[in-house]
Structure 1
Amino acid sequence: MTSSLSSHEQRLAALATKRQRLDALSEEGALEALLSDPEAAALTHSFPEEDFFLFMHRIGADDFLPVLALASDRQWQFVLDMECWQKDMPDYGAMGLWFRRFLKASPARFVKFLLEEEGDLMDAWLFRNVEVRIREHDEDPSDFPDGFTTLDDVLYFRLRPLSEEWTEDAEKSEAREEAVFSFVRHLAEISHPLFFRVFQEMAWALPAEQEEAALHWHRVRMAEKGFASQQEARLLWVPLAEGELEKQGRKHLNRAPDGDWRFTLPEHGRRMAEDRIFSEALELLDMGDVLADLHLELAHLCNRFVAAQGRVIRSREALDAMGQAVMGYLEAGIARITGEESPTPLLRAQILRTYRLDAVFRAGFGPVMRLKWRVQAWWPEAWFRKSGLALSFWEEQGMGILGGLLLEVPLCLDMNAASGRLYRPFASDAEIRETEKTVSDLMTLDDLLALLGLSSVDPMGRLLTWKNLLLTLWAKDSLDPGEVAAVLTPLHEERFRSFFVRIREERVGGFFLSPASRDAFLLWLSDRTRLDREQIADRVGGILEALFQELDGELAAIRPEALDHRYVRLFLLRPA
């Protein structure tokens, strides 16, 4: 393969190999290896901007200054774009910290970089931080307020008072002062007339216009990497409309067939492509530029997913977690598009080659957003909410599923997670469909409970669940024939004992809910809700069967004479 590359491409491939070796070293070892490399500048420049940013934070920003001095203007620009903006607004506190670092790393070059590449942002930063006075020929500097200083006895300047948000941040305050005075000194050394003009123009500067102009170019640069504005990036969350995939989701590759870009792809795109589910499909696409373009598309899609959440990722581990989430939704999207629960590698490869990845992602993430919107629409009208009950009413699983869907970015409940984290992104279409079914069951149950005719419900310190509500109400009505309880209260332990003995029967393996008791429960529920048994079976038959099985387990574990209200979960009891 190497022999088919030009000498320039071979050098780029060799630099890429060196970058991969740095990943295997410790932070100190990687920094030392890079700086001691005979081609340290070329190796530094070979980092894609995203990888350079992550490498910098891996090493530590303040320890990274020697490498920062070697970095390219594009790498500098990316660092500023990532660190010095907060939701489309310049972050002047962060700007002081980072300007100070750049001015320590390469002061004269950084001043020229600001003048040539970031003039609008520089002007806005100076206006927000520096107050300027021009001394007239008959004016005495002693008449100026305290704090003014000068380099030429004509132009005087001082730091503006700190904003309230910085008054308690000593580091930002110190960094701002150091950055301003270092910038002024080095600008004057480069060209005193230029220094004078820059500060003189501040008198009629319009910082809002300067910030708007800087924001425009910031957005352009970020969009090139997939980091659209948060509002635009969140279009990624919008479900596909009917026919949109075929009309607008097909790929139109216009990239030149060869070029250096193949050797400077962001590494997280390659790592995402190593996902075990996709690896076989991607092997079928191993056709040089086709696969490389897919790696780049994956990286940009991941960046857009990050931008949609308004986050700045500073570690490889966090970025890989985002990449894994994206791959899960791509897998779900392929399943939705093909209608196959487990598409073959060939079918996956066809989808990846035919459709834009953002469209495939939306095919997978869209159903999650629809489910979130469905829960949000149901939430204010739900019977349990109107009754003043907490999410714990639906027990741990129901509470976790609903809580995960109501997050800004919906997440999947994983009660078996080895990491101890209950929530994670959905990893497959099967998980999405399972969650959809559970939500439908909860909504159906809520509708059923609304028909029970309860006038008020006491949450009982969050001990109340839909299960013990149903079963306790059944027990109360059964113990008082002819009466329909309008208020749910715990049963007396002794009264419940007789009911407990009546509903169970002994069989091989222990005590279980008798068939007659099951029929009695369904008849009671039908009378109470005024639904016939066929309607109940259609709506909640599977749910009630699971409840009966759980009740079997509780009945088998308790002897009537040893009944203790503290250890009964499925009925609400009070002590004798």
Structure 2
Amino acid sequence: MIDKINKENSLGRETLPFPVDWVRTQPRKVEDILSGLSVEEQVRTILGLDPYLQQNLLMLSEKAVEVTRSLPVEEIYNLIKEVGKEDSLLVLSMASPDQLQYIFDLEWWQGDKFQPKRALDWIVLLDQCQDPETLEWFLSEDFDQKVVLLQAFFKVYKKDEMTDSYEGVEGLEHFSPDGVYDIFFKVENSKEIRKLLLLLYEKDQRLLHDLLEAVIWYPVTLTVERAYQWRMNRTSERGIPEFQEAMGIYSRLDPETLKLKLPSLQEFPVSRFRLSPRYPLAHLDETLFFTQCLAILENENRLETLRWELVCLANKVIVADGLDLSSMDIRHR
């Protein structure tokens, strides 16, 4: 079955082991067919399809969580961007912490600037998912990123000689999760943040206290810089380079580079089953010479590598042009 799916869906075209209209007209039959496929077979089937169809198939799968978490993070991000984050809550609720981390690394930053409004919008959205998923992501996030996030949302004081100044809190909403730390919200929409803090208090009081102490004592600018460096480390591992490296795409081509050994699949980001994102090739014009060349390529590893190369190439152009990686207009160009 895997070989059949590979062959038919090699360029990300919409090919399924059942008529596509069955998803709408005979969903029970689709469920039965999907239940007979392994997780890997379902992932290979879903990759590269129209994002709305991808979401519908995930909703019909008995192994939806495992299949979702086995998809490349880039494919999940593309699905959510195309369908819309408000309309893809089910996928968000099933996404792994690593997948959510990738999404937030792209959505919460513009260049080296942290975007608190965007972050708050996503926190509000996550609140509509199940609590364990929200907390699972928050517990996995790096410490500096947590501090940057919380410093953007509230001030913290406590009644001791070092931290009892309570400056600039007039008119701010007050909340205390434990009767020790006094939190004053700088944002109007505090319900979801309050809920997140209470969940964290129930799960890991030590971590919550460490975070609140860090909100008090960590210098904001330095903490943002550290969080940004951690973010850059993560995104570079997913083929998103720093600006200086990305600018190399506009440098003069050295003929000697044509003699270099072709990159291997092992050099690119890892996903379960070592599958690459399909969305860059999903809607290629079949009359293009490039598309025709891909169609006759028989080496599956080379094809997987080419897909990754195209993803990394697109990322490099976006970064070099100083554009927003999360912009739908930019992604559609």
Q: TM-score, normalised by structure 2?
A: 0.74
1:37 to 55, 61, 74: 61
Matched, 1:95 2:106: no
The one-letter code sitting in structure 1 at the alignment partner of 2:41 is A
Aligned to 1:427: none
1:183 to 186, 196, 212: 196
Aligned to 2:238: 225
Aligned to 2:181: 155
Deviation by residue 1:245-279 (Cα, 9 ceiling, x = unmatched):
3158623434459x976763111343459562123
8 Å CA contact 1:12, 1:263 repeated in 2: no
Name the CA distance, whole Å, in 2 between partners of 1:222 and 1:285.
Answer: 30
The one-letter code sitting in structure 1 at the alignment partner of 2:122 is W
8 Å CA contact 1:228, 1:304 repeated in 2: yes
The one-letter code sitting in structure 1 at the alignment partner of 2:194 is F
Structure 1 residues 58, 261: closer, same or farther in 2, change over 3 A?
same
8 Å CA contact 2:280, 2:311 repeated in 1: yes
1:46 to 61, 70, 73: 70
The one-letter code sitting in structure 2 at the alignment partner of 1:279 is T
Aligned to 1:13: 41
| SS of structure 2 residue aligned to 1:131 | strand
Matched, 1:199 2:212: yes
Aligned to 1:282: 294
Aligned to 1:531: none
Deviation at 1:20, TM superposition (A): 5.0
Aligned to 2:263: 253
Name the CA distance, whole Å, in 1 between partners of 2:194 and 2:285.
Answer: 47
Aligned to 1:296: 308
| SS of structure 1 residue aligned to 2:182 | strand
8 Å CA contact 1:53, 1:314 repeated in 2: no
Deviation by residue 1:95-117 (Cα, 9 ceiling, x = unmatched):
11112222332434433433432
Structure 1 residues 233, 274: closer, same or farther in 2, change over 3 A?
farther
Deviation at 1:237, TM superposition (A): 1.4
Aligned to 1:265: 276
The one-letter code sitting in structure 2 at the alignment partner of 1:158 is F
RMSD between aligned alpha carbons? 3.6
Structure 1 residues 18, 86: closer, same or farther in 2, change over 3 A?
closer
Aligned to 2:154: 130
The one-letter code sitting in structure 2 at the alignment partner of 1:97 is D
Aligned to 1:121: 145
Name the CA distance, whole Å, in 1 between partners of 2:247 and 2:71.
Answer: 28
- The count of aligned residue pairs is 295
Name the CA distance, whole Å, in 2 between partners of 1:213 and 1:197.
Answer: 17
8 Å CA contact 2:156, 2:212 repeated in 1: yes
Q: How does 1:299-318 map to 2 (within 5 A)?
A: 299-309=311-321, 310-313=323-326, 315=328
Deviation at 1:156, TM superposition (A): 0.9
Structure 1 residues 268, 174: closer, same or farther in 2, change over 3 A?
same
Q: Which has the higher contact order (CA 8 A, sep 6+)?
A: 2
8 Å CA contact 2:148, 2:224 repeated in 1: yes
8 Å CA contact 2:158, 2:164 repeated in 1: no
| SS of structure 1 residue aligned to 2:86 | coil
Deviation at 1:301, TM superposition (A): 0.9
Name the CA distance, whole Å, in 1 between partners of 2:106 and 2:86.
Answer: 16
Aligned to 1:210: 223
Runs of 5+ consecutive residues of structure 1 not aligned to the other structure: 161-172, 323-576
Aligned to 2:9: none
Deviation at 1:79, TM superposition (A): 0.9
Specify the structure having the higher radius of gyration (Cα). Answer: 1
| SS of structure 1 residue aligned to 2:316 | helix
The one-letter code sitting in structure 1 at the alignment partner of 2:304 is A
Runs of 5+ consecutive residues of structure 2 not aligned to the other structure: 6-36
8 Å CA contact 2:70, 2:271 repeated in 1: no
Structure 1 residues 273, 76: closer, same or farther in 2, change over 3 A?
farther
Deviation at 1:213, TM superposition (A): 2.0
The one-letter code sitting in structure 2 at the alignment partner of 1:204 is W
Aligned to 2:21: none
| SS of structure 2 residue aligned to 1:16 | helix
Structure 1 residues 262, 183: closer, same or farther in 2, change over 3 A?
closer
Structure 1 residues 287, 264: closer, same or farther in 2, change over 3 A?
closer
Name the CA distance, whole Å, in 2 between partners of 1:97 and 1:268.
Answer: 26
Name the CA distance, whole Å, in 1 between partners of 2:56 and 2:300.
Answer: 34
Deviation at 1:10, TM superposition (A): 6.2
Deviation at 1:134, TM superposition (A): 1.0
Aligned to 1:416: none
Deviation at 1:129, TM superposition (A): 2.4
Q: How does 1:512-527 map to 2 (within 5 A)?
A: none
Deviation by residue 1:371-396 (Cα, 9 ceiling, x = unmatched):
xxxxxxxxxxxxxxxxxxxxxxxxxx
Structure 1 residues 193, 99: closer, same or farther in 2, change over 3 A?
same
Deviation by residue 1:521-549 (Cα, 9 ceiling, x = unmatched):
xxxxxxxxxxxxxxxxxxxxxxxxxxxxx
Name the CA distance, whole Å, in 2 between partners of 1:260 and 1:98.
Answer: 24
Aligned to 1:83: 107
Aligned to 1:428: none
Name the CA distance, whole Å, in 2 between partners of 1:260 and 1:136.
Answer: 49
Deviation by residue 1:1-22 (Cα, 9 ceiling, x = unmatched):
84799xxx96413322134566
Structure 1 residues 123, 142: closer, same or farther in 2, change over 3 A?
closer
Matched, 1:239 2:265: no
Deviation at 1:58, TM superposition (A): 2.5
Aligned to 1:66: 90
8 Å CA contact 1:46, 1:264 repeated in 2: no
| SS of structure 1 residue aligned to 2:74 | helix
Name the CA distance, whole Å, in 2 between partners of 1:294 and 1:245.
Answer: 20
8 Å CA contact 1:34, 1:40 repeated in 2: yes
Deviation by residue 1:92-145 (Cα, 9 ceiling, x = unmatched):
1111111222233243443343343221111012123211121249x9999985
Q: How does 1:322-337 map to 2 (within 5 A)?
A: 322=333
8 Å CA contact 1:219, 1:229 repeated in 2: yes
Structure 1 residues 254, 203: closer, same or farther in 2, change over 3 A?
same
The one-letter code sitting in structure 2 at the alignment partner of 1:192 is Q
Aligned to 1:558: none
Name the CA distance, whole Å, in 2 between partners of 1:24 and 1:128.
Answer: 34
Structure 1 residues 31, 232: closer, same or farther in 2, change over 3 A?
same
Deviation at 1:174, TM superposition (A): 4.3
